[in-house]
Amino acid sequence: MARPPHHDPLPESDLEVLETFDNGEGVRKARITVRRKLPGARLDKYLVSRFKKASRSIIQKLIKSGEVLVNGKPTKNSYEMEGGDVIEITFQPPEPYDVVPEDIPLDIVYEDDYIIAINKPINMIAHPANRTQGGTVANAVAFYSKELAQTDDPFRPGIVHRLDKNTTGLMVIAKTDEAHWRISRQFEDRTTEKVYHAVVHGAPEFDEDIIDVPIGQHPTVHDRYIATGFAERLGSKFEKRLHKNAVTRYKVLERFSGFSLIELYPKTGRTHQLRIHMSHIKHPIVGDPFYGGRNIGMQHITGRPSDSPDLIWKRQMLHACRLTFKHPIEQEPITLEAPYPQDFIDLLAALREYAARGKGRL
């Protein structure tokens, strides 16, 4: 797939302390001389503030790969700059897309010249991990749209944010590079408002509450994450893995016998955050065995042994239903909504019909 035009990450002003270079092959370089010590200022955050058109993830990737030198040497994201430091940064030209377009139907909820918003179905991941993997959102949008933003990953053209494979709901894809970096910066700065609905086991004690519990990677299980309290039980040597704060606000919308419908407002965007936080307060999401939830059928809802024991709801019942952000070009607030998928509708209908009468049990 041909490489689309890409934005220039270099700033347009402040050239007193910033020298820029172009080798004619698309490689862009910059040199900054730090005038004075900046106490507490991390290198990655400083560069993000200077290069407004580069996302934090891109800057961190450049530092990690050695494309950022301080006084001629590679360093870490956390380096605190001293007066007189010379920072050199190299922006390589973006790699061509490496995603095969596939004619996969998309549920488009909004589209203009700059962005596409879809209602992602179950059993579909956001983007491939390698060039042979298919059936992803990225494959589908590569077929649907001739123009997609270039990102720092050739397998993620246009992808701004991700949802888990079996989480349904709103995903935003950027058509232009400018739209991509502007929306990505909103996600990084936590100025977007994300709203999810979930069906959980049990009845939360409070109608509304805030869960403020750090999350980190599980020390032994691949692709699993854990909350601080669980890590403490594993031992202090695992605590170093848990340095990312995570905050979720929730509100109970409906209570049933054995289940609840809740609304979730993540203030941070950690991997599996909502699933982990609900598990942490002992109300895991239905259909999420990875974090303590259980697959259920009608027998669990009605409590009647005569009903079928077949499991019907076998994926985490979590749906990204609303997203508010500033339009990347027009800069006006925009709110997008995605209707429930059919399995979510069916589950709520069953709960309202049977468990709302106090007959359900689990």
Residues carrying an active site annotation: 164
Residue 308, Cβ neighbours under 10 Å: how many? 11
Q: Return the DSSP state at 283.
A: -
Kindly state the tokens that stand for 354: 């049977």
Strand blocks (E) in 285-352: 318-326, 333-337
3-state secondary structure 205-248: CCCEEEEECCEEECCCCCCCEEEHHHHHHHCHHHHHHCCECCEE
Amino acid identity of 274? L
């590079």: which residue's tokens? 177
Question: Rounded CA gap, 224 and 233, in Å?
Answer: 16
Give dist(CA 74, CA 67) in Å, integer: 8
Assess contact for 3 and 157: CB atoms under 8 A: no
Contact 27, 93 (CB under 8 A): yes
Residues 101, 89: Cα–Cα separation, whole Å: 33
- Burial of 315 (C-beta count, 10 Å sphere; 0-12/13-18/19+): buried
Sheet holding 68-70, edge to edge: 18-22, 28-33, 86-91, 68-70, 73-74
Letter for the amino acid at 28? R
What is the helix, strand, coil percentage profile of the chain, to 5?
Answer: 25, 25, 50
Task: Dig out the tokens for 34 from the structure.
Answer: 């730090």
Residue from 271, 336, 317 nearest 167 by CA: 317
Do residues 260 and 248 touch, judged by C-beta distance below 8 A?
no
Alpha-carbon dihedral of residues 188, 191, 192, 197, nearest 10 degrees? 100
